Amino acid sequence: MRLWMVLLVTVVIGTGLHSVFAAMPAVGSAAPDFTLPSQDGTQVSLKDFRGKWVVLYFYPKDGTPGCTIEAHNFQRDQPQYAQRNAVVVGVSVDTTDSHKEFCSKEGLNFKLLADTEHKVVKQYESTMNYKGVEIAARNTFIIDPQGNIQRAYTGVDPNKHSQEVLTALDELQKGASGSK
């Protein structure tokens, strides 16, 4: 009887985990397009960045310690992203006003997008519950200039993530130039 219950629980949990991961856009697939408002009130679409590498990162909440560290590191490394023909775009479920205040307070000049309806975080399977509230999970997608996902990171460490992404961009771009 106990073995049967363990097997049942394993199947149920495994099926649940599979369905969660199956919804995340796969590496090599086209990145789902979207349009969201940024901290300056302009509408930003993923397709606006065709021809550039895009670091699309999802984060839980403006002004929290981990999110502030991650944003500061992406800001610090902006010149290195520019050298790699890459842009950084952050997404959370916070409002444009919250993003504007966060950018002003922290000196951020890259785009933060407000997904208050939770559509994009769900498209990218980047949601989590925190104390009964649905927020963005700390996930990142590297999207190539043609709009395809080349890397996906889940549950990243905000302290070292920007450097991890820069290293990945170097590897991806070296691979892309070597295949031509």
Active-site residue list:
67
Evaluate whether 165 touches 64 at the Cβ level (below 8 Å): no
**Is 86:78 a contact under the CB 8 Å cutoff?**
no
Q: How far apart are the C-alpha atoms of 172 and 169, rounded to whole Å?
A: 5
φ and ψ at 115, to 5 degrees?
-110, 65
Residues 22, 27: Cα–Cα separation, whole Å:
12
